Structure 1
Amino acid sequence: MTISLAIVGVGKIVRDQHLPAVAGNADYRLVAAASRNGRVEGIENFGAIGEMLAAVPSIDAVSLCMPPQYRYAAAVAALDAGKHVLLEKPPGATLSEVEDLAARAAEKGVSLFASWHSRHAPAVEAARGFLAGTRLRAMRVSWKEDVRQWHPGQAWIWQPGGLGVFDPGINALSIVTRILPQPVFATGATLEFPENRDAPIAATIRFTDADGLDLLAEFDWRQTGPQSWDIEAETDAGVMRLSEGGAKLSVDGRLLHAEPEQEYPSLYRRFAALIRDGRSDVDLAPLRHVADAFMLGRRTLVDAFHD
């Protein structure tokens, strides 16, 4: 079965990742796009999802890639039209709206996929297997990058619901919640807000689990030069390091796993499999941890941020 796919929200992530991944997957035929500003050459383009769904009834599935604050209404429109839906990360602006989408998808008998692309990094499953076979003592997460490099001029990330530094930080949390042998929960957080913005530019969160795990996560959008996307775990079998956003796994400095990055091609293979099997995949654990950090976090003001 070839899936007739439409993409909504044609921005940087669509051009960099979604379009190449879809073009390289024979399960899909890209038939339409809807976006206020962007266009995709060679297919039908529309200004809004409602217009697109009405004009192209042959669409089987929709990838929603607009900012999270606007995703719920678009997802409802697609689900109510009987379309399978892929949600770019984060899947929505709130937990409640995504839970409602999951219920709607089940009611309509279509697939809903909350896609956490960082879970599809090459070494993540190897890290999960390693931690399953040893005792974990402590974990440190360092996710620090330059917002000007990755989100140039994007105002939505600083607005309520845009998550601020948790936009990349949730990638780390999606990996952590995948590789840990049991659930963790936040015990405290510090969130640093620029004095002229409504979302944090940095965050530090402490987590634990039922066995008293010491887990510290540090997210920062002010890092220039080399970028840091690392998870380090102290275990009885040695120090495990998952680096470069999940691309490489080493233990005590010895490289055990490294493969070329294929996150978005893997996402679309997963989405096709869900559609074929008539299933959904909506794991809200990473977004729940972000919500908990906002609930528990001590807020501090820092210098204003200007693009």
Structure 2
Amino acid sequence: MTVTDIAIVGVGKIARDQHVPAISGNTSFRLAATVSAHSCLDGIENFPTLDQLLAARADIAALALCMPPQARYEAAAKAIAAGRHVLLEKPPGATIAEVEALVRMAEARNVALFATWHSRFAGAVEPARLWLRDKRVRHVSVVWKEDVRRWHPGQAWIWQPGGLGVFDPGINALSIVTRILPAPFHLVSSTLEFPDGREAPIAAKLRFAGKGGFAVEADFDWRQTGPQTWDIEVETDAGTLLLKSGGAEMHIDGRETQQWGDVEYSAIYRRFAELIATRSIDADLSPLTHVADAFMLGRRVTGEAFEE
């Protein structure tokens, strides 16, 4: 079995909570180094900058980029130019154009590029897609509400341009919906609530029109305390499908069919190993396109100030 040495660039909460365990549990990878100016992992070589890692460790074939999206393009471009395979944490970049440019670079350099959408790898997502594939969709309701203080404590970048605000979690819902629905849909209206003094929204209400006449309505909010809500309900001509807990549970007509554990990042790294083996690209930008459309069509309202 071929083992690929990989480095994590950006050693923050998502890297520690998800990427490190997923890499450790995958025999196709060996965590060989990290890149961070302010943090490190015990027993793992750390470089203050990506340039230093690329110059010193030609043996490291793959990089997982876990820094905020505003800085991801420059890092990915350097890595691809150096012939390294690249995994992009979601969202894959701050703009659609820069990710499209990375795809062209990876094609020219013949390296793997993986724009990950971790929620697509939740256990119920593929079963839901298979159940829906021959159904006529009538209506879709998405309710994605969580507590930003719990999941992004002290992370100022999420409130800056390119940080996406509530769309940082909301794009997870969109990544699932774009995967499971049997017909495409497009945005027709959006209302974005910006806290006073912030540059990214804390809440959003979206309405989409789907091919064949169905509607998709999404309600995103970053102010929910207590139990968190990550639900997608799809009404069809043959019953109602409900995904709960971010895609970890599936219910058909109120009956639970199965529950899955936390399998998303282990599945991501299995997919990345496949892409590396074939030097392939997996970069679906449809979730990011819907977010960009929400900003373009968005009716902006200002809410009360939000403080950590």
Deviation of the 1:139 alpha carbon: 0.4
CA distance in 2, matches of 1:250, 1:209: 23
Alignment partner, residue 275 of structure 2: 274
More off after superposition, 283-292 vs 232-241: 232-241
CA distance in 2, matches of 1:9, 1:193: 28
Residues 204 and 218, structure 1, Cα contact 8 Å, conserved in 2: yes
Alignment partner, residue 88 of structure 1: 89
TM-score normalised by the chain length of structure 2:
0.99
Alignment partner, residue 225 of structure 2: 224
Query: Which structure 1 residue ranges, 4+ long, deviate > 3 Å from structure 2?
Result: none
* SS class of match (2:282): coil
Residue type of the alignment partner of 1:196: G
More off after superposition, 35-44 vs 218-227: 35-44
Alignment partner, residue 70 of structure 1: 71
Alignment partner, residue 286 of structure 2: 285
Residues 126 and 257, structure 1, Cα contact 8 Å, conserved in 2: no
Residue type of the alignment partner of 1:271: F
Deviation of the 1:241 alpha carbon: 0.4
Q: How do 1:122-271 and structure 2 match up within 5 A?
A: 122-271=123-272
CA distance in 2, matches of 1:294, 1:48: 33
CA distance in 2, matches of 1:202, 1:45: 37
Alignment partner, residue 97 of structure 1: 98
Does 2:301 match 1:300?
yes
Deviation of the 1:211 alpha carbon: 1.3
Tell me the number of residue pairs that the alignment of Structure 1 and Structure 2 aligns: 307
Residues 195 and 301, structure 1, Cα contact 8 Å, conserved in 2: yes
More off after superposition, 143-152 vs 249-258: 249-258
CA distance in 1, matches of 2:54, 2:32: 11
CA distance in 1, matches of 2:252, 2:237: 11
* SS class of match (1:125): helix
* SS class of match (2:7): strand
Query: Could you list the per-position Cα deviations for residues 54-111 of structure 1 after superposition, in whole angstroms to 9, with x for gaps in the alignment?
Result: 1111010000000000000000110000000000000000000000000000000000
Deviation of the 1:233 alpha carbon: 0.9
CA distance in 2, matches of 1:209, 1:237: 18
Deviation of the 1:150 alpha carbon: 0.4
CA distance in 2, matches of 1:74, 1:302: 35
Residues 80 and 106, structure 2, Cα contact 8 Å, conserved in 1: yes
Alignment partner, residue 17 of structure 1: 18
Residue type of the alignment partner of 2:34: A
Does 2:7 match 1:6?
yes
Give ranges in structure 2 of 5+ residues lacking alignment. Answer: none
* SS class of match (2:224): coil
Residues 34 and 44, structure 2, Cα contact 8 Å, conserved in 1: yes
Residue type of the alignment partner of 1:156: W
More off after superposition, 208-217 vs 67-76: 208-217
CA distance in 1, matches of 2:37, 2:91: 20
CA distance in 2, matches of 1:129, 1:256: 14
Deviation of the 1:210 alpha carbon: 2.4
Residue type of the alignment partner of 1:205: L
Deviation of the 1:257 alpha carbon: 2.3
The sequence identity of aligned pairs, in percent, is 60
Residues 193 and 199, structure 1, Cα contact 8 Å, conserved in 2: yes
* SS class of match (1:33): strand
TM-score normalised by the chain length of structure 1:
0.99
Deviation of the 1:261 alpha carbon: 1.7
CA distance in 2, matches of 1:68, 1:51: 21
CA distance in 2, matches of 1:230, 1:211: 23
Deviation of the 1:196 alpha carbon: 1.3
Query: Could you list the per-position Cα deviations for residues 208-247 of structure 1 after superposition, in whole angstroms to 9, with x for gaps in the alignment?
Result: 1221211101100011111000000111111110000000
* Superposed CA RMSD: 0.7
